[in-house]
Amino acid sequence: MQDAETTPTTNDIDAFFAADPCVLPLYQALEPLLYALGDVTRKVQKTQISFSSGKSFAYVWLPIHKVKGRPEHYFILSLSLNHQVVSPRIVESVEPYPGRWMHHLILSAQEDLDEELLDWLREAYNFGMR
């Protein structure tokens, strides 16, 4: 559940996606999936939007530079898990702390919001609760 301190206005979200407003509808489709996981708070910052369930478990951010071979319009969804997931959908995974893996996925279309992603979101949410 959001509280007043972490409830950004529509203007905050619009400002965050001002660099690439084409991906705003995709973000707007992702956000309810995150809130459906349970008690989730959202924090909009200059470079990322983070979602927490005790600890932060998911982050949305826009690419800084164009990368050859990637879609023209997309955002990155980073998920924190307690183990490494190997999948062609994950463009990078790193272990910044022992037992904490960050996985970065490119989201560019509604089809990316599938059951596999929902499984990873649930797993990340549960990991954030610990």
Enter the pTM of the model.
0.90
Q: pLDDT truncated to tens, each residue of the chain (130 aa)?
A: 444 444 446 789 999 999 999 999 999 999 999 999 999 999 999 999 999 998 999 999 999 888 999 999 999 999 999 999 999 999 999 999 999 999 999 999 999 999 999 999 999 999 998 8
Looking at the structure of the chain, the number of domains it has is: 1
Contact 107, 20 (CB under 8 A): no
Which one, of 84, 24, 80, 16, lies nearest residue 52 by Cα?
Answer: 80
Which one, of 104, 73, 76, 110, lies nearest residue 90 by Cα?
Answer: 104
Range of the domain at 63: 4-129
